[in-house]
Amino acid sequence: MKLWIKGYLIFMTLCIAVISVTGVIITESSYSNSIRMEVQRSLEEEENIHSAAKIYLDTQGANRASMEDYLDLYNKLLNEFGTRGKYLEIITWKKVVKRHAYDFSMAQEAVNTALDSNRNFLLKRVNGTYFLFIANLLERNAVLLLAKDISYIDGQRKDQYMFFIRTELIMLIFLAFAIPLVSRYITGPLEKLAGITMNIASGNYNERIKIKTRDEIGILAEQFNSMAAEIKNKIDELEKQSERKQRFIDSLIHELRTPMTSIIGYADFLRSTKYDEAISYKGLSYINSEGKRVLELVKKLLDMILLQKSELDFKMQNIMPIFEEVKDTLGIKLNEKKIELAIKGEDFEFYIDRDLFKEVVINLVDNSINASEDGDKITLGAKSADGCKIVYVEDEGKGIPHSELEKITEPFYRIEKSRSRKEGGLGLGLSICDEIIKSHHGRLKIESTPGRGTRVEIIFESALD
């Protein structure tokens, strides 16, 4: 069952219950008030009649117990106070004086109370008619009984019930049309939310809810949109990771297959030809070279695995001595290409694993050498900026296309595959560098312009000192 239908049924049930209970309470309260007011008015009226009767009897002197006197009194009271729906009786020890068709014998309880000098009233139904009886002592053994037909109050209660029933029916008819509209208006955004949820579940992660309200549903829509955006980001990241892993596997297979194919090919060639010293030497040299490539690949992969599992030896180190060691290590290669390595910046301390950090700097400078032409200049520097400590390598080489910048830290990725392979590169250098810097809680930032050079920064946003 849909939510708006549930809301409709619940609200209609509550309306019927509330209106019905309210109608009963108001009607019964009004009925009780009407009875109470009628009793009060009748008591006051009976008091007037009783006073008139007492005055009449007092004027009769001592002999006032005859039936003629009571009958005469009765007629006078009836002429003066008698109206439709109001009946009088004078009850003596001899008989009841009356001229009406009703038998009010059930009022004997009130009469007995009056004989004990206590005025009393009683509510009774006589043949379907609702009567109010008021009994009051006139004199010894004589009681004045006033009976009033108050059935009109029952009629008022019935009319009031009918009024509430008609009003309730009109309200329910109105609500029967109004509540579904209100329910659909309230639950409409939830239905949109459900529909968009199904779309997202089916893979359409770009779906968003367009609800601009300030109530709970609007807040829910905003949170849902944020959740959907976060899910999309996670899905995109997982897809990128999956693509990277697949490229890693493809590249690894390719890197292993190429040297192994060469090794097997040369081994088969040497095995199938007559021994010739020159040919054998050449073939064995190829086998040795390709075998070293496989060994180097395995070593680099092990380095990447160990970086993720091993604990680093962090100590406070000055940066400039490391720069000088890097320059000495790469001195021969720098001299071969007549490249100047300029060291700039301030000498400050880092809390680092010295050997691994030195390996990163060597790798970055070596990449710059490979990308530079003879006679170019490479700058190796350190500086502080905006609360960060930065080590950078900047060259004047061929640069990197913008489309390649996000991929160059992936394992086995090479911008110029033929040159890298020729020079023995495996495409794992920057990947390992990136892992080392991450283990130092830093990050690599690479900026490059094709034909103008590349700048690689190692940024530590929180001081490592």
Per-residue pLDDT reduced to its tens digit, 323-338? 998 888 888 888 888 9
Residue from 254, 237, 238, 240 nearest 427 by CA: 254
SS3 16: helix
Alpha carbon separation from 243 to 149, 236, 335, 415, 446 (Å, rounded): 98, 10, 40, 18, 22
Q: Of 381, 365, 393, 367, nearest to 455 (Cα)? A: 393
To which H or E segment does residue 300 belong? helix 277-309
Query: For 64-68, 272-276, 316-320, 333-337, which range has the lowest pLDDT when averaged over its residues?
Result: 64-68
**Sign of the C-alpha dihedral, residues 355, 358, 364, 365?**
negative
3 to 189, 195, 208, 369, 383: CA distances (angstroms): 12, 14, 22, 69, 63
Residue pair 347/427 in contact by the 8 Å Cβ criterion: no
CB 445 within 8 A of CB 388: no
Per-residue pLDDT at 420: 45
- Which residues does residue 340 pair with via DSSP β-bridges, in sequence order? 377
Q: Report the C-alpha gap between 453 and 371 in whole angstroms.
A: 8
- Residue with the bigger pLDDT between 354 and 428: it is 354
Q: How far is CA 17 from the centre of its chain?
A: 33
CA distance 387 to 463: 7
* pLDDT, mean of residues 82-95: 71
pTM above 0.75, yes or no: no
Give the whole-angstrom CA distance, residue 332 versus residue 53: 145
- 238 has pLDDT over 70: yes
CA separation for the pair 265, 290 (Å, rounded): 11
- Can you give the pLDDT at residue 196? 77
* Range of weakest confidence among 12-21, 156-165, 388-397, 433-442: 433-442
Query: φ and ψ at 189, to 5 degrees?
Result: -60, -35
Q: How far apart are CA 245 and CA 382, in angstroms?
A: 34
Residue 273 pLDDT exceeds 80:
no
- How high is the pLDDT of residue 425? 46
Q: Tell me: pLDDT of 392 over 90.
A: yes
**What is the layout of strands, in order, in the sheet containing 453-460?**
340-345, 377-385, 388-394, 453-460, 443-449
Percent of the chain with pLDDT strictly greater than 90: 8
Which 8-state DSSP code applies to residue 89? E
Q: Which of 157, 161, 154, 116 is nearest to 132 (CA)?
A: 154
Task: Tell me which residue of 31, 194, 64, 83 sits closest to 138, measured CA to CA.
Answer: 64
Model confidence at 456: pLDDT above 80: yes
Listed residue (65, 61, 59, 135) closest to 95, CA to CA:
65
**Of 169-173, 275-279, 443-447, where does mean pLDDT reach its minimum?**
275-279
Q: What percent of the chain has a predicted confidence (pLDDT) above 70?
A: 78
Q: Which structure tokens are listed for 3?
A: 């939510």
Task: Answer left, alpha or beta for residue 412, where phi above 0 means left and psi between -120 and 50 means alpha.
Answer: left
What letter does residue 380 receive in the DSSP assignment? E
